[in-house]
Amino acid sequence: MKRRRKVKIVATLGPASSDEAMIEKLYQAGADVFRVNMSHTNHDLMRTLVERIRNVERRVERPIGILADLQGPKLRVGTFADRKVALEVGQEFVLDDNPEPGDSTRVYLPHPEILASVQPGHRLLIDDGRLQLKTIETGKGFIRCRVVAGTQISDRKGVSLPDTELPVGALTEKDRSDLDAVLATGVDWIALSFIQRPEDLAEVRKIARGRAALMAKIEKPQAVKRLPEIIELADAIMVARGDLGVEMPLEAVPGIQKQITRACRVAGKPVVVATQMLESMISAPVPTRAEVSDVATAVFEGADAVMLSAESAAGAYPVEAVAMMDSIAHQVERDPTYETIISAQRTQPQATGADAISLAARQIAETLKLSAIITYTSSGTTGLRAARERPHVPIIALSPVVETARRLSLVWGTHCVVSEDASDLDDMVDRACRIAYEEEFVQPGDRVIITAGVPLGTPGATNMLRIAYVGADGFGAL
């Protein structure tokens, strides 16, 4: 099955979408990558979901990506004697290391790293920002705050720290256990939650050892401040707007989304826009007009993928949500302003032969009105470079490595096909044209442009391009 859109769709699996038949329906509706949220998935269920996705992949004969999303550190207050208490704006409230149940004056905070790091003036946001505290004094084992907004706090509510950088990594013991489990199943992408600094990626990369690509979720102000460094070390970025909107002013999030998207375009790294894109479809068969515009904005920006969370995982209309996102993307990409906007965001390529080849391939394809750009890619780097150019024509990525094809299923505009490496240049042209013909991207008489590395099969050595005609039998000719 070929997609007739360039942006990709990530669908989260959950109670509403865990059985194999539903996973296949979601794929047929438009999902390209499936997300397994380890915050709500144990190891046995995770392995079952991966097996079911791979079964669907074999039936549809198309590479499907799997994204395992690690939970990250969940910071929560303790409990209260009466389960919840009422507070007043302006009153003082203490978070401390006393494990006794809390009351209207204090509560236990079982995170010594927070008690040691928060400074006077720092904000603490409780329960997704519904309660806002400002620190007025810190000491050994306590933080004294003033209530700025909100009137209630209850058991085990989450704590966000927009002004505080914690001296701990983003990988918890649960995450380490989950990471070992998901790597053993052969997932394609690992998403890291609540990272604050580029160093947070280092530990996971050391454990993964190239077995999966790493996606950094940007959901904290500290990560936004060090965005260039994080983009450099990550394989992809997710704009996790839910938590980002808790720790930063809501009105700042759209601008940050654009900054991240464009920075990833410059770096040639995939970027996923996520959270609450079609939120109303959790319980309604159609989205709001504002949600449609939100998805459309991400597509116009040139995001590689847009993501559904609870809409596909726990909603009443998972297939309809995917189909709606697919429909919105199709409409946007047909809009007469789409190519103009995408083209205006292009940046200069890096000063490498491979980047120059990818730029030339895009320019030649558009100048000569060729039907497709076909890239031979072993590691996926050539496919990423081709996508970075955001060409108007389809990108067909041919790889002998199934894991590479699965990872590229997240990348803008790439139609991935698992194919053996060509034996020589003639075979390279014939194989490329034949696959493009079989995948219904070209007709006899069309022309395509082919990029590859010589010697053939050398990872990261893109140094050649060819223009070829598609013959009557689907084979190519120079």
Report the catalytic residues.
35, 76, 217, 275
Cis status, amide bond into 400, omega within 30 of 0:
no
Distance linking the first and last C-alpha atoms of the chain = 28
Q: What amino acid is encoded at 138 in this protein?
A: T
What single DSSP character describes residue 452?
Answer: E
Stated as kind and residue range, the H or E segment containing 6 is none
Tokens 């450099």 sit on residue: 232
Helix, strand, coil in percent for the chain, rounding step 5 = 40, 25, 40
Q: What would the DSSP string read from start to end of 265-292?
A: HHHT--EEEESSTTGGGGTSSS--HHHH
CA nearest to 215, candidates 182, 196, 193:
193
Beta bridge partners of 306: 9, 273
Buried b / exposed e across 4-38, counting CB within 10 Å, b at 16+?
Answer: ebbbbbbbbbbebbbeeebbbbbbebbbbbbbbbb
Contacts of 97 (CB under 8 A, 6+ apart): 108, 109, 112, 115, 141, 142
Q: How far is CA 100 from the centre of its chain?
A: 41
* Dist. CA 396–CA 35, nearest whole Å: 24
Ramachandran angles phi, psi of 467, nearest 5°: -100, 135
* Dist. CA 201–CA 458, nearest whole Å: 28
Q: How many CB atoms lie within 10 A of CB 245?
A: 20
Q: Is 237 exposed, middle or buried (0-12, 13-18, 19+ CB in 10 A)?
A: buried
Sign of CA dihedral 272, 276, 282, 287: negative
Q: What would the DSSP string read from start to end of 370-423?
A: -SEEEEE-SSSHHHHHHHHT--SS-EEEEES-HHHHHHHTTSTTEEEEE-PPPS
Beta bridge partners of 65: 33
Structure tokens that stand for 403 in this block: 């894991």
Structure tokens that stand for 27 in this block: 């794929």
Structure tokens that stand for 110 in this block: 């079982």
Sign of CA dihedral 59, 64, 69, 70: positive
> Cβ(348)–Cβ(360) under 8 Å?
no
Q: How many CB atoms lie within 10 A of CB 83?
A: 10
